Amino acid sequence: QSVLTQPPSVSAAPGQKVTISCSGSNSNIGNKYVSWYQQLPGTAPKLLISKDDERASGIPDRFSGSKSGTSATLGITGLQTGDEADYYCGTWDSSLDVWVFGGGTKLTVL
Amino acid sequence: EVRLVESGGGLVKPGGSLRLSCVGSGFTFSSYTITWVRQAPGKGLEYVSSISRSSSLKYYADSGKGRFAISRDNADNSAYLQMNSLRAEDTAVYYCVKGDQRDYWGQGTPVTVSS
């Protein structure tokens, strides 16, 4: 059971938009920056978004991050087949004194 | 170019030990927290341990407390994860990750604990 809650899967058609939610608590998302990672099949995770809404270097503006209270959201517009991957949110938890991840969301571009 | 290269993984019997290494390049290694994250086969990401820039602060997930020890040598741009009393559930790919934002990840080193 992950500290942060993500939907197991989402899907949408090419060109469409999708959002992935990440729900936590005041000890993590509510008071700490959220990061988002993309993991393509067979590869290491790659940072997409840091500090809630800052795109990492080289990440297209089709990817966006936002946060409200104890929840964060990753948005992807103009979906491409190459976006099919697992997406993880992560942040520091000040009660546990560990970095916590969501369970991951598998994106399928139909 | 920022690079993190892990090594030291392999097959070990339950109860055995391994020492993972991570060498960083392309950035000022001593200026960044280093974190180890693992991923069991077919599973999600799991935090293992972090060490601060000067080694003054070390954090561990409950799963590794008392068995794992993190360290670093800034002169060699290296970080280490000593893993003792290994269990089957420690089987995973272990990633070395740079910084408080966990912005760069190595390619990972696989650890298999099996008799």
B54 exposure class (CB count in 10 Å sphere: 0-12, 13-18, 19+): exposed
Question: What's the pLDDT score for residue B102?
Answer: 87
Please indicate whether, in this complex, the C-beta atoms of A88 and B45 are within 8 angstroms of each other. yes
Of A41, A50, A24, the residue nearest A107 (C-alpha): A41
Within an 8 Å CB–CB cutoff, is residue A55 touching chain B? no
Binary contact (B45, A44; C-beta < 8 A): no
Angle CA(B71)–CA(B77)–CA(B41) in degrees, nearest 5?
A: 65
Tens-digit pLDDT string for chain B (115 aa): 999 999 999 999 999 999 999 999 999 999 999 999 999 999 999 999 999 999 999 999 999 999 999 999 999 999 999 999 999 999 999 999 998 888 899 999 999 999 9
pLDDT score of B101: 83
For residue A2, pLDDT beyond 90:
no
> Would you call B70 exposed, middle or buried from its count of C-beta atoms within 10 A (0-12, 13-18, 19+)?
buried
Give the single-character DSSP code of B88.
G
A100 CB within 8 Å of a chain B CB: yes
Put simply, the answer to whether A99 touches B102 (Cβ < 8 Å) is: yes
d(CA A18, CA B68): 39
pLDDT tens, A67-105? 999 999 999 999 999 999 999 999 999 999 999 999 999
Residues of A in contact with B46 (CB under 8 A): 101
Question: Which of B6, B43, B47 should one mutate to test binding to chain A, selecting the residue with the greatest count of A CBs within 10 A?
Answer: B47
The more confident residue out of B100 and A42 is A42
pLDDT of residue B103: 87
What number is the average pLDDT over the span A15-36?
A: 97
Give the distance from residue A17's alpha carbon to the nearest chain B alpha carbon, in angstroms: 24
Report the first-to-last Cα separation within chain B, whole angstroms: 40
CB contact under 8 A, A44 and B107: yes
